[in-house]
Amino acid sequence: MSDQEATKAGTVTVRLVKGMRGCRERHRQSVRALGLNKINDVRELVDSPSVRGLINTVHYLVRVES
């Protein structure tokens, strides 16, 4: 396994697929904490329990990509 593959194994890619208009303020803050601002923004984040918790909170706004 190369070094790049090893770092990919511990990450999760998240895409914002729905706008935040009309959602709770707490959910807007969770999306911002994930580093997403606009629709179709993509971030590659370290796969940790805290990141998974944020994703679960806003599961209806984001898509987890492999």
What residue type is assigned to position 58 of the chain? V
49-66 confidence digits (pLDDT tens): 999 999 999 999 999 997
CA 64 to chain CA centroid, nearest Å? 7
Q: What is residue 8's predicted lDDT score, i.e. its pLDDT?
A: 65
**Bridge partners of residue 42, in order along the sequence:** 15
Tokens, residue 8? 């990919």
Residue 3 exposed, middle or buried by CB count within 10 Å (0-12, 13-18, 19+): exposed
Asked whether residue 2 carries a pLDDT value surpassing 80, the answer given is no
Q: What is residue 5's predicted lDDT score, i.e. its pLDDT?
A: 58
What is the reported pTM?
A: 0.83
CA dist., res. 31 & res. 25, Å (int)? 10
7-25 confidence digits (pLDDT tens): 567 999 999 999 999 999 9
Q: In the chain, what are the domains?
A: 3-65 (3.30.1390.20)
* Residue appearing with tokens 């911002």: 32
